[in-house]
Amino acid sequence: MHSDTFLAVVAGRGTVNPLLRRWAERFERRRVFYGSDLRDHVACRRNTIVKWFRDEAPPAAAWLLMVDDDVVPVARTDELLRCPAEVAAARVWARTGREAHPHGISAACVKISRKAARAIPPPWFRFVFSPDGTREVLCECRYFWRKCHAAGFTPVQAGIAGHRFPVTVLPEPDGPAFRFDGEVEDA
Ligand SMILES: [Zn+2]
């Protein structure tokens, strides 16, 4: 199935979550790219994948579907597979418990056409820091969003996917409260 799409899983923690692993089996063309989970390294790995897709992937694969190892596909994730846009991404929640980039796209589960991979000059993904290097001013998703627009593409959101994060269970008067890491310090 999905012979026109190459599934690349971005694995940073050494394992791919079992729900994604099972979902991945329906792609006859798939590969896991392992590497460091550090921010710049993640962007490097995404660029390696897009470059590999552009230059070396089997020509029959018109699409690259790049999915992080903590993404959990659900039934509605299929909307992304059917989306005809040159660049599209599933909606996901961030570890803050809020939707990641509700007005843009998240890099966690993104589909890129071969045409877009060729037309958008590298780097496709990059974290941009303040001049003194102490602050992140642009995450890889926003950077990619800008590169798409600069090359004449408008990325769209299509479908939705689950996202697995470590969660802290805090004792609250009404019972246990589940907090993502981004929320624990506020609790
Ligand atoms: Zn982002």
DSSP code string of 21-44 = HHHHTT-SSEEEEE---SHHHHHH
- The span from the CA of 115 to the CA of 87, in Å, is 10
Q: Give me ligand 1 centre to Cα 154, in Å.
A: 17
Q: Give me ligand 1 centre to Cα 165, in Å.
A: 15
Q: Give me ligand 1 centre to Cα 12, in Å.
A: 16
Q: Give me ligand 1 centre to Cα 104, in Å.
A: 9
Cα–Cα nearest to 65, from 158, 169, 171: 158
Q: Which residues pair with 93 in a beta bridge?
A: 99
pLDDT of residue 187: 47
Cα–Cα nearest to 4, from 75, 69, 118, 83: 83
Q: Give me ligand 1 centre to Cα 170, in Å.
A: 27
Three-state DSSP state, 173: coil
Q: How far, in Å, are 11, 146, 152 from residue 166 at the CA level? A: 16, 30, 38
- The span from the CA of 69 to the CA of 48, in Å, is 16
pLDDT of residue 13: 67
Q: Give me ligand 1 centre to Cα 111, in Å.
A: 15
Q: Give me ligand 1 centre to Cα 22, in Å.
A: 26
pLDDT of residue 36: 78
Q: Give me ligand 1 centre to Cα 83, in Å.
A: 21
Q: Give me ligand 1 centre to Cα 21, in Å.
A: 23
Q: Give me ligand 1 centre to Cα 94, in Å.
A: 9
Cβ atoms of 39 and 91 within 8 Å: the answer is no
Neighbours of ion ligand 1 (CB under 5 A): 139, 141
Cβ atoms of 29 and 61 within 8 Å: the answer is yes
Task: Say if residue 12 is exposed, middle or buried (CB neighbours under 10 Å; 0-12, 13-18, 19+).
Answer: middle
Tokens at 84, concatenated: 């005809």
What is the full per-residue pLDDT of the chain (187 aa) written as tens digits? 788 999 999 998 668 898 999 999 999 999 999 887 777 789 999 999 999 999 999 888 999 999 999 999 999 999 999 999 999 999 999 887 789 999 999 999 999 999 999 999 999 999 999 999 999 999 999 999 999 999 999 999 999 999 988 888 888 899 998 887 767 665 4
The DSSP H or E segment spanning 175 is strand 175-180
If phi > 0 it is left, if psi is from -120 to 50 it is alpha, else beta; for residue 163 that is beta
Q: Give me ligand 1 centre to Cα 3, in Å.
A: 29
